[in-house]
Chain A
Amino acid sequence: MDAIIIAVVSVTGISAVCAVILCMASKFMAVKEDERMVKIRECLPGTNCGACGFPGCDGYAAALISGGDVKTNLCAPGAAAVLERLSDILGVAAGDLEVKMAVVRCGGGDLEQNKKMDYKGIETCIAAKQLFGGEGMCAFGCLGYGDCKTVCPSGAICMENRLARVIPKLCTGCGLCVKACPNKLITIENESIPVAVLCNNIEKGAVVRKKCSNGCIGCKKCVRECEANAIEVQDNLAIIDYEKCTGCGRCAEVCVTKGIKLFAYKEAGDGNPFKETQIQTSN
Chain B
Amino acid sequence: MDFKAMIVIMMSAALVNNYVLSQFLGICPFLGVSKETKSATGMSVAVIFVMLLSTAVTWPIQVFLLDRHGLGFLQIIVFILIIAALVQFVEIALKKYMPELYNSLGVFLPLITTNCAVLAAVILNIKENYTFMQSMVNALGAGLGFLLAMVIFSGIREHTENTDPPEAFKGLPLTMMSAAILSLSFFGLTGVVENMFG
* A residues neighboring B (CB under 8 Å): 3, 6-7, 10-11, 14-15, 18-19, 21-22, 25-26, 29-31, 55-56
Say yes or no: B71 contacts A25, CB within 8 Å: no
22 A-B pairs in the complex with CB atoms less than 8 angstroms apart:
A6-B69, A7-B71, A10-B65, A11-B74, A11-B77, A14-B78, A14-B81, A18-B82, A18-B84, A19-B85, A21-B85, A22-B85, A22-B88, A25-B89, A25-B93, A26-B92, A29-B95, A29-B96, A29-B97, A30-B96, A31-B99, A55-B107
Question: How many contacts between A and B, using CB within 8 angstroms?
Answer: 48
Give Cα A243–Cα B25 distance, bound, in whole angstroms.
Answer: 47
Q: Does B106 contact A (CB under 8 A)?
A: yes
Chain B 23-44 interface mask (CB, 8 Å, partner A; 1/0): 0000000000000000000000
Say yes or no: B107 contacts A22, CB within 8 Å: no
A-B residue pairs, 5 tightest by C-beta: A18-B85, A29-B96, A25-B92, A29-B92, A31-B95
Interface size on B, residues (CB 8 A): 24
From B74, B89, B99, B106, give the contact of A22 (CB < 8 A): B89
Chain B interface secondary structure, helix, strand, loop or mixed?
A: helix
Q: Does B198 contact A (CB under 8 A)?
A: no
Say yes or no: B71 contacts A6, CB within 8 Å: yes
* Extra A-B contacts (4), CB below 8 Å, given A3-B70, A22-B89, A25-B93: A11-B74, A18-B84, A31-B96, A55-B107
Say yes or no: B78 contacts A11, CB within 8 Å: yes
Q: What A residues does B93 contact at CB under 8 A?
A: 25, 29
Q: What A residues does B81 contact at CB under 8 A?
A: 11, 14-15, 18
Say yes or no: B92 contacts A7, CB within 8 Å: no
List B residues 66-82 near A (Cβ within 8 Å): 66, 69-71, 73-74, 77-78, 81-82
Give Cα A26–Cα B84 distance, bound, in whole angstroms.
Answer: 15
Give Cα A22–Cα B93 distance, bound, in whole angstroms.
Answer: 10
Q: What B residues does A15 contact at CB under 8 A?
A: 81
List B residues 121-164 near A (Cβ within 8 Å): none
Contact of A7 with B74 at beta-carbon distance under 8 Å, contacts A18-B82, A21-B85 already known: yes
